[in-house]
Amino acid sequence: MTMAPEVSETSPEKLLAPVLSAFWDEPGSWTLETYLRHDGYAGLRKALAMTPDEVIAYVKDSGLRGRGGAGFPTGMKWQFIPQGDGKPHYLVVNADESEPGTCKDIPLLFANPHALIEGMVIACYAIRSEHAFIYLRGETVPVLRRLHLAVREAYAAGYLGRDILGSGINLDVTVHAGAGAYICGEETALLDSLEGRRGQPRLRPPFPAVAGLYACPTVVNNVESIASVPAILGRGKEWFRSMGSEKSPGFTLYSLSGHVAGPGQYEAPLGITLRQLLGMSGGMRPGHRLKFWTPGGSSTPILTEEHLDVPLDYEGVGAAGSMLGTKALQCFDETTCVVRAVTRWTEFYAHESCGKCTPCREGTYWLVQLLRDIEAGKGRMADLDKINDIADNINGKSFCALGDGAASPIFSSLKYFRAEYEEHIRGKGCPFDPAKSTVWADRTNPHPEVRA
Amino acid sequence: MTEVSLGMPQLPAPDYPAEVKTRLLADAREVIGRYPDSRSALLPLLHLVQSEEGYVTRTGIRFCAEQLGLTTAEVTAVATFYTMYRRRPGGDYQVGVCTNTLCAVLGGDAIFEALRRHLGVGNGETTADGKVTLEHIECNAACDYAPVVMVNWEFFDNQTVESAKELVDELRAGRTVRPTRGAPLCTYRETARILAGFPDERPGAVEASGGAGPASLAGLRLARGEGGPARVGPPRTEPPQDERPPEHPSSHDAPQQTSASDPDHPSGPVTEEGEG
């Protein structure tokens, strides 16, 4: 691919499908008033006219799959909740968006929090829950403010609280701010954290659907998954299925970032390609080529320009040897050192490893040691097999997916860029100039005498 | 400042002054009332005690333990797990530079290094005037606005070395600073209170900076046929001329060098295992 891909025959108007983002540019987009002007809470009214089991079946039939990374069918998660068990049921929304590269839920909640709240009411009606939680990562105070307001507005308007819209159902929503821990994006670690403990993952089974929050049946869903539900109810599952593919239907938020001309959120049917997204958004930054990219955050194996035409849906990216993940398309150009990128990600995993299981705790530690040496030109050729071996001892052998995620950049970078690692070792140093990778690298300086 | 524990038993932490305690008790009751099980209130209560003293003190830990029927050891175990709880005093403004891969590559490393020199403090350290604590932070879910700096967890998008230096200068001069996305800055303690779940009461705080930032709207504008790639962020200043290639700011708390990884002393596990 060249830096500015050929213009696609299909126009952005056809390729994109703003649903959740459709009115983010309106003044006061986050208010109940704006949301109601855009058919807000119409999906809830339709849901309340159905039985809870019908709602579960409807969401299942729509084919909606989890948008938090794993892609598990949302309706099926709801169906797993045992009914008539006499225990309280809980819905916990995972808003702990922390996967490197991932930046969709935070702008969604900032601009349109009521989509989430409406989805929560529908979900709680379906699974017979009267108390739901939003676990928001603490490091995003602007979003917390708007969630506080949105929940207050929803109570005042009768969408939350007692006897919602005269249906006889009750729902309380608690907004809970986390305190900085990537591991709390893992659903069982999130539940431990929400119970006031260190955020460490739990052994499964039992799964949260059986013994989740306070050992009660619990659904944990990603923000975008739940926020997509009102549109499915409102516009119909056929409409939803008209987008995407048989196994990956619907729309989703793609987050384009890195050395691209037009970083941002692009809401489109599942299955769009990176070539199409770059084509419509101005491509890579002028004068540069795509070198490597992640399809869904740093935990998904990196891909290269040979994968530009991979359909970005669950099956397509899986077939290319990676995962759709969170659709966080981090694009790096030829100025970027792969070893530097992978070392930094690995330092992240070592920092965020909760310490519960040995392969992840020790493995990420040793990976950092070796990678730093390699990046600094102090590595040896045998280190490359060593890091591959360590990654292999983390992957699939750790307590939770954090370990698998830590292994992904190692495996995939060795697969596509082993020569670059070897160059660091043979040349006894990094051949790249980090200054060339900055966003300001190509800007000419009109005042060279002015020193920064 | 690192305190070396000698393993000596400590006296119980002092309690809050009576009027502070009365106020915090009322807040704590509200926080605990949000949850079916009181222990769930621990994270917000730690934010709450942080809003009182600027960090999680032994007094704060004692308070949380008393409210929830936990031991101070149990509370300490939780408080030390999460990065947002400070274990020592810090500045009014926590300036966090994202140095995870994407922001680092796009300029975060250079920004962190420049601020380190400009402020004369290292990672986690506070300027002598008590205004600014500099930190490297991990990915903050704003990659389409890279490089990102967070101040008291409000977004400062599309930063440069110059803009970041100006930002900290403004903070130290006591001027009102407005983030790209978020509300005009309040102090670290006031922010901690919002995190404890007490809404920001300042007029205009929720509305500040509008609905979505420019990058968030990039796809929407294209879908409307509004053409061309969105130009995001404020105009950027010229590139820095005197910045050295950055070090690795996110490395401070990762493992240190060991002899096993030192080519000058190639002993240790590698050769012992016969794999060298």
CATH code of the domain covering residue A280: 3.10.20.600
Reported as a pLDDT band with limits 50, 70 and 90, residue B9 is confident
C-alpha to C-alpha distance for B149 and B156, rounded to whole angstroms:
5
Q: Per the domain annotation, does A432 fall within a domain?
A: yes
Q: Which range has the worst mean pLDDT, A114-118, A202-206, B3-7, B224-228?
A: B3-7
Which residues of chain A lie closer than 8 angstroms to B221, CB-CB?
25
In a domain, A310, yes or no: yes
- Smallest CA–CA distance from A133 into chain B, residue: B35
Can you tell me the mean pLDDT for A416-436?
98
Whether residues A452 and B161 touch (CB distance < 8 A) is answered with yes
Q: Are A263 and A217 in a shared domain?
A: no
Q: Which of A97, A142, A382 sits opposite B182 (nearest CB)?
A: A142
Domain boundary (A224, A240, A256) is at A240
DSSP tag of A244: B
- Residues 52-111 on B with a CB inside 8 Å of A are 68, 77-78, 81-85, 99-102, 104-107, 109-110
DSSP character string of A325-337: TT-EEEEEETTS-
Domain count, chain A: 3
Within 8 A of A452 by CB-CB distance, chain B residues are 114, 161-162, 165, 237-243
> What's the average model confidence in pLDDT over A433-444?
93
Could you identify the residue written with the tokens 């936990």? B70
Range of the domain at A40: 15-240
Of the residues A295, A317, A333, which one is the last residue of a structural domain? A333
Q: How far is B43 from chain A (nearest CA, A)?
A: 6
Using pLDDT thresholds of 50, 70 and 90, give the confidence band for residue B266: very low
Give how far Cα A30 sits from Cα of A141, A393, B22, Å. 15, 46, 36
**Closest alpha carbon within chain B to A254:** B219
- Band the pLDDT of B6: cuts 50, 70, 90: confident
Residue B13 pLDDT exceeds 50: yes
> CB neighbours of A158 closer than 8 A, spacing ≥ 6?
A164, A165
Angstrom distances, CA of residue A51 to CA of A48, A55, A205, A217, A241: 7, 6, 29, 20, 22
Same domain for A43 and A90?
Answer: yes
Query: What percentage of chain A has pLDDT greater than the value 90?
Result: 94
Is residue B228 very low, low, confident or very high in pLDDT (cuts 50, 70, 90)? low
B130 in Cβ contact with B150 (< 8 Å): no
Q: Which residues pair with A249 in a beta bridge?
A: A244
Same domain for A361 and A291, yes or no, is: no
Give the range among A52-66, A181-195, A305-319, B254-268 with minimum mean pLDDT: B254-268
Same domain, A192 and A252: no
Is pLDDT at A117 greater than 70 in this prediction?
Answer: yes
Which of A10, A99, A110 would best serve as a mutation to test chain B binding (most B beta carbons within 10 A)?
A: A110
Measure CB to CB from residue B147 to each of A350, A382, A439 and give the nearest one. A439
Q: Tell whether B238 is within 8 A of chain A (Cβ).
A: yes
Min Cα–Cα distance to chain B from A42, Å: 22
- Give the closest of A144, A264, A370 to B215, CB-based: A264
CB atoms within 10 A of CB B226: 13
A101-112 pLDDT per residue, tens:
999 999 999 999
Tell me how far apart the alpha carbons of residues A301 and A297 are, in angstroms, rounded to a whole number.
Answer: 9
Contact (CB<8Å) B139/A179: no
Checking DSSP bridges between strand B132-137 and strand B93-98, what pairing results, if any?
Answer: parallel
Residue A171 lies in a domain: yes
Residue A5 located in a structural domain: no
Asked if B139 lies within 8 A of A145 by C-beta distance, the reply is no
Residue of A34, A145, A294 to mutate, interface with B, max B Cβ within 10 Å: A145
Q: Look at residue A432 and tell me whether its pLDDT is greater than 90.
A: yes
Query: Do A259 and A185 sit in the same domain of this protein?
Result: no
Judge: A145–B206 Cβ closer than 8 Å, yes or no. Answer: yes
Give the CATH number, domain containing residue A45: 3.40.50.11540
- For B166-195, write each residue's pLDDT tens digit: 999 999 999 999 999 999 999 999 999 999
pLDDT at B262: 46
Q: Which two tokens stand for residue B121?
A: 């403090």
In terms of domains, do A66 and A169 share one? yes
- Determine which of B39, B40, B70, B105 to mutate to test the interface with A (most A C-beta atoms within 10 Å): B105
**Average pLDDT, integer, range B70-96:** 97
Inter-chain touch A196–B78, beta carbons under 8 Å: yes
Q: Is the peptide bond before B235 cis (omega within 30 degrees of 0)?
A: no
Q: Walk across the sheet containing A251-258 and list its strands.
A: A264-269, A251-258, A328-333, A290-294, A303-304
Residue A318 in any domain: the answer is yes
Binary contact (B217, A439; C-beta < 8 A)? no
Based on the fold, state whether residues A41 and A90 are members of the same structural domain: yes
A198 & A182 share domain: yes
User: CA-to-CA distance for B147 and A452, rounded, in angstroms?
Assistant: 17
Task: Answer yes or no: is pLDDT of B90 > 60.
Answer: yes
Any domain includes A1? no
Q: How far is CA A54 from CA A75, A79, A228, B28, B257, in A?
A: 11, 11, 17, 41, 59
d(CA A24, CA A265): 11
Residue B273 has pLDDT above 60, yes or no: no
Amino acid at B156: F
Residues 9-48 of B with CB under 8 A from A: 34-37, 39-44, 46-47
Chain A nearest-CA distance from B70, in A, is: 11
Say if CB A229 and CB A125 are below 8 A apart. Answer: no
Give the domain-ending residue among A207, A223, A240.
Answer: A240
Residue A445 has a pLDDT of: 58
Chain B segment 196-215 residues within 8 A of A by beta carbon are 196-197, 199-200, 205-215
Distance of CA A167 to the CA centre of its chain: 34
Q: Does the residue A447 lie in any domain?
A: no
Condensed to tens digits (0 to 9), the pLDDT of residues A395-415 reads 999 999 999 999 999 999 999
Distance CA A18, CA A29 (A): 14
Chain A with chain B: Cβ pairs closer than 8 A: 354
Return the residue in A140, A153, A251 with the most chain B beta carbons within 10 A, the one to mutate for interface testing: A140
Assess whether pLDDT exceeds 60 at residue B275: no
Closest CA to B261 of A358, A344, A371, A427: A371
Residues A223/A253, Cβ–Cβ less than 8 Å: no
Q: Are residues A131 and A234 in the same domain?
A: yes
What is the per-residue pLDDT for B1? 54
Q: Are A47 and A105 in a shared domain?
A: yes
Same domain for A98 and A131? yes
CB A344 to CB B35 under 8 A?
Answer: no
Model pLDDT for residues B129-156, shown as the tens digit of each residue: 999 999 999 999 999 999 999 999 999 9
- Residue B129: how many other CB atoms lie within 10 Å: 10
Residues A316 and A352 in one domain: no
Looking at the DSSP bridge assignments, the partners of residue B156 are B149
Structure tokens at A364: 């990420």
* pLDDT (0 to 100) of residue B226: 87
Q: Do B47 and A445 touch (CB under 8 A)?
A: no
Return phi, psi of residue A176, to 5°.
-125, 120
State whether residue B113 sits within 8 Å of chain A by CB.
Answer: no
E strand map for chain B: 93-98, 132-137, 149-151, 154-156
Helix, strand, coil share of chain B (percent; to 5) = 40, 5, 50
Chain A residues inside the 8 Å CB shell of B165: 452
- A2 within domain boundaries: no
Question: Burial, A419: exposed, middle or buried (Cβ in 10 Å; 0-12, 13-18, 19+)?
Answer: exposed
CA distance A84 to A77: 17
H or E element in which residue B275 lies: none
